[in-house]
Amino acid sequence: MKITDACVYPRPSGDSSVRRMALEAHELGFDSLIAVDTPACDYAGVHVASGVVIGEIPAQDIAVRMKRHRETGAFVTVQAGDNGHNRAVLGMKGIHILCGIHGTDRHAFDHVTAKMAADNGVAIDVSLAPVIRERGVVRQRALDRYFDLMLLERRFEFPLVISTHARSVLEMRSVREFSALASVIGLDIPDVEQALSNAGMLPSPSSAVKVIQ
């Protein structure tokens, strides 16, 4: 069972090299990372899986981009939008993760989309970024959305993954900190452990893995 931060941004998207982030992940207790726009590699005992994040663009454009990524072995994450957008995305083959639920309104992810995620094995990303970085109304709104999400997860049992969306090693967090931050949104330790391991159980095309010395 691999313990995974489901989304980090090494250079050039972020400020730290993938080598540095993998080394930091090892020190923080992780076995793997999903790193955006980075070839798959292994370093310091940490598996770095390739990831792609597709922004909130029309569904037909997502389908076109999916064709490019289907054979790359990358985990494909799509940004959540309104309810219609999310239903279209969750009905596509090859989507692994839907992220950004905390930034949507409460109708964007409902019982219909929750069931679609469960039926199609699409994981919903619980990004700790708004809990870590935001304050005031923005942070409270994210917490409220996550409380709603947890209610739907307990009913429909779609997979959850947890991420920092870190853009440098300074934004990465330890497994213990993940548990503490996730408890704020209603996840207990067994829930966190399951969510941290779910990324390793998502279907992903095989791809070559480079070992970084």
pLDDT digits (tens, 9 = 90+) for 17-43: 999 999 999 999 999 999 999 999 999
Q: Where are the alpha helices (DSSP H) in 51-102?
A: 59-69, 83-90
User: Helices 83-90 and 111-120, interaxial angle, to 10°?
Assistant: 20
Domains of the chain, by residue range, sit at 4-211
CA 129 distance to own-chain centroid: 11
CA 72 distance to own-chain centroid: 18
pLDDT digits (tens, 9 = 90+) for 38-84: 999 999 899 999 999 999 888 889 988 887 777 778 999 999 999 99
pLDDT digits (tens, 9 = 90+) for 162-210: 999 999 999 999 999 999 988 888 888 899 999 999 998 887 555 444 4
Q: What is the 3-state secondary structure (H, E, C) of 71-111?
A: CCCCEEEEECCCHHHHHHHHCCCCCCEEECHHHCCCCCCCH
Tell me the C-alpha distance between 72 and 178, whole Å: 29
Tell me the C-alpha distance between 27 and 44, whole Å: 10
Does the pTM surpass 0.85? The reply is: yes
Question: Which DSSP state fits 105?
Answer: -
For the segment(s) 4-211, the CATH number from 2.40.50.140, 3.40.190.10, 3.20.20.140, 1.10.490.10 is 3.20.20.140
